[in-house]
Structure 1
Amino acid sequence: MWQLEAGIEALVAVVVGVVAALVWVPGGLRWGLALAVVVGCVGLAVVVPLWRYRVHRWEVSATAVYTQRGWWARERRIAPMSRVQTVDFAQGPLARLFGLATVTVTTASAAGPLQIEGLDRDVALRLVDELTRKADLVEGDAT
Structure 2
Amino acid sequence: MSRVWIIKRKHFYLAAAALLVIFGGWLYISRDSIMPTLADSASERTIQLVVGEFKSTTKEGKTIEAYRWDPGTVIVRKGEKIKLSIYGVNGESHPFLIEGLNISGEVQKGKETVVHFTANQEGTYRLICMTHADVAHGGPMIGYIVVD
TM-score of the superposed pair, with normalisation by structure 2: 0.31
- Structure with bigger helix share is 1
Relative contact order (C-alpha < 8 Å, sep 6+): which is higher? Answer: 2
- Structure with bigger strand share is 2
TM-score of the superposed pair, with normalisation by structure 1: 0.32
Q: Which has the larger radius of gyration?
A: 2
